[in-house]
Structure 1
């Protein structure tokens, strides 16, 4: 059985868990908690970058990062489920890239505070990352992606965006919500249509 190395707060790990749920694959995957800060954790030998998520296949092959793992899961489920075929694929990949960028920029802000002593923190760097998030949210608010219909399979871009907004709720107290009502409505619709979003909700 494949093993997903992840951590509950990781938005990229959550993206893979939601993808596995909606593809009907979650029962075929074991989730193994991972501490990327621990030099003794095997994640560093499984993924040379020491990053999560990583998917350890039955033959020992390890897939990383979340984009590769998601594509593998879609293939495993028969293809064309969360990643459309043909030209329709590219808007989904673009939305995923934007959502992944929000997650990256959010994580970098958290890391600056978590791993640097206060006297060495770089306020301009944090502002630079925050501005990325602000521009991405403004772009999405102006032209929100299609809402996920009940009982339908979300695409990978929609999954990634839901995880990005969920991460902003978790780490930034949902401050994004005040100025982005269309995205709030979009996320509410996603949560109502995709039970896996609540099942994978991190608590810390």
Structure 2
């Protein structure tokens, strides 16, 4: 990329799904995962939680990077049921309990993104709604047996086999996967780094 104004974005995440989504819209990026304490603060609202997580990831990545003129993207996604955050299951038994709780019900998926640059941090939260089909016990057991639910908030992923469990999705599909591309695109426009410039920057 010859244009210095369009250096690769730095993604503060090891998620292959987030990388694939950035690739999908043609945003050049490098990966620099960070580890932070992801424990919610007592009484913390889910939307504020995902924004805090995204912001802390972006800022920690920026702090440890040699070039602070770059843009650093942090993201976090969580599932919310009855106003409470549902994290990743610790075991197959917990995954089955989570799926049984979600069976036939609607829940929220909150996805926060933060873009840290030289002068400011811009952030956005996107809320989507997902309703699962009523799930038979055998269906839950077989899904858990695939291993897919064990690293997913709420014990299912819409981008994998879990798509077969979904009855309805309202909002942003990419936010439910883990990175709301509409929000990322808007934040990049705000810092005068429109996505479409990456498509031609290599030739400039």
Scaled by the length of structure 2, the TM-score of the pair is: 0.32
Q: Name whichever structure is richer in strand by fraction.
A: 2
Query: Could you say which structure has the larger radius of gyration?
Result: 2
Q: Name whichever structure is richer in helix by fraction.
A: 1
